[in-house]
Amino acid sequence: MIEFHRVTLEYPATKTLALEEINLSVKRGEFLYLTGHSGAGKSSFLGLIIKSVIPTTGQVYINSEPLTKYKGARVALHRRRIGMVFQDHSLLDHLSVLENLYFALRVVGAPQREWEERSLNVLRLVGLAHKQKVYPIQLSQGERQRVAIARAVVTNPVLLLADEPTGNLDPDVSWEIMELMNEINLKGTTIILATHSREIVERQRRRTLTLRKGKLVRDDPNGGYAI
């Protein structure tokens, strides 16, 4: 589904070598962790997949096709197939929980008659159907993060990229989020989850990619934390 072939990324403005000679492939349906210290290149790695940054050298392939071939509308279409969850949730504060989900469905062009049922289904999945009418500021951090996940998956993405989705949450809430991710993965969505958290990586063993200063120093099918 995703392949990196000798991918190097240098940010020209600062001449920072964010990623160096990365080779790997991710199959459909996988759930993998991406770990490494702050600045190791995790967000840059995810950015390459959504083409928010492009490799300086090397190629990223999606379903065997190089991302460099994707231009304009094709890039937008590609991004619409991907759900994204960020550390700072990035919900639209002037919209209610339900409206935030509707917004995502509108962006992907889902038929309006489906919005309510699909949104309520994912809100039930994240345990927040009862909060559908409230605004993000009226939610706890963990609840906001669950809404952000609901928003990312309501469009049925083939791929979910989660960048430190449990970054600011206490351990119990983090585990709820991780269980939610499991359920989403079991429904067929491929997941790449960037995390600093040793607890997460060690408690639930999965394929784990470890970046160190832009290099992929470990790609372990059985996971575990090692930096």
The SS3 call for residue 35 is strand
Report the partner that residue 36 touches, choosing among ligand ATP, Mg ion, none (CB closer than 5 to 8 A by kind).
Answer: ligand ATP
Between CA 171 and CA 17 the distance in angstroms is 33
**CA distances, 19 to each of 16, 159, 161 (Å):** 9, 22, 18
Nearer to ligand ATP, 39 or 127 (CB): 39
Contact (CB, 8 A) for 194 and 46: yes
Give residues 6-65 in contact with ligand ATP (rule: CB under 6 A).
11, 13-14, 16, 18, 36, 38-44
Report the partner that residue 104 touches, choosing among ligand ATP, Mg ion, none (CB closer than 5 to 8 A by kind).
Answer: none
Between CA 219 and CA 33 the distance in angstroms is 10
Binding mask 27-66 for Mg ion (x = CB under 5 A): ---------------xx-----------------------
Q: How many CB atoms lie within 10 A of CB 225?
A: 17
Contact (CB, 8 A) for 219 and 209: yes
Tokens of 80: 């619409």
165 is a contact residue toward ligand ATP (CB under 6 A) = no
Report the partner that residue 63 touches, choosing among ligand ATP, Mg ion, none (CB closer than 5 to 8 A by kind).
Answer: none
Rounded to an integer, what is the distance from CA 204 to the centroid of its chain?
18
Q: How far is the CB of 192 from ligand ATP (least distance, A)?
A: 13
Nearer to Mg ion, 43 or 100 (CB): 43
The SS3 call for residue 98 is helix
| β-bridge pairing 31-35 and 208-212 | parallel
Nearer to ligand ATP, 143 or 164 (CB): 164
Report the partner that residue 44 touches, choosing among ligand ATP, Mg ion, none (CB closer than 5 to 8 A by kind).
Answer: ligand ATP
The site for ligand ATP, by CB under 6 A, has a size of: 13
Q: Given the rule CB under 6 A, which residues bind ligand ATP?
A: 11, 13-14, 16, 18, 36, 38-44
Q: Given the rule CB under 5 A, which residues bind Mg ion?
A: 42-43
